[in-house]
Amino acid sequence: MLYNLKIMPARIVSDEGKPSAAIEIPLEKPLPDYDLDQIDQPTPRDVDGILVSQGFRDLVDDSRGILMDLLSNEPRTVDSSHGRALNLSHANEHSLQVEQLTGAICPGDDEVYRPGLWIVLRDVHANQKASLPLATRERIAAIANEFVKRLGL
């Protein structure tokens, strides 16, 4: 299952037959606080230079802290498609864990490439041979949305 979230520059892909999902977040604007001023690059190799920079490593470190906070204190969200609020703070509390958080090379428009973040979350309490249920995918989308907002991406 693929989510392209209209309100943020992220793509969420749920793994088939596994209780995990990947979140890809391309950087769409410069981040001067991290010395990431030139985001669009002509080749993937040029993005590699950004991914190993101190500024990008600092971004990944900050991302890890924010993500851990969000997983410990999940944001509340409203599921407007069903007309009811989802209570995310008590059901399966702390069941999502970070499997991977790293840099990514993200293709952009017009043959440019951008650095980005690649996050893999896994539900440790779910059936390990089944895909994530809709409620968990919605939780992950809410976490990703808040993550992007907190980092100013």
86-90, 108-112, 138-142 — which is least confidently predicted? Answer: 86-90
User: What is the arithmetic mean of pLDDT over 73-96?
Assistant: 54
Share of the chain above pLDDT 70, in %: 82
Q: CB–CB of 147/139 below 8 Å? A: no
Greater confidence (75 vs 147) lies with 147
Q: What is the pLDDT of residue 8?
A: 54
What is the spatial distance between Cα 46 and Cα 111, in angstroms, rounded to a whole number? 13
DSSP characters for the chain?
-EEE-TTSS-EEEEPTTSSEEEEEEE--S-BGGGTB----BSSHHHHHHHHTSHHHHHHHHHHHHHHHHHHHSPPPEEETTTTEEE-TTTTTTT-EEEEEEEEEEEE-STT-EEEEEEEEEEETTS-TTSPPPHHHHHHHHHHHHHHHHHHT-
The pLDDT value recorded for residue 102 is 96
- Local confidence band at 86 (pLDDT 50, 70, 90 cut-offs): very low
The pLDDT of residue 33 is 95
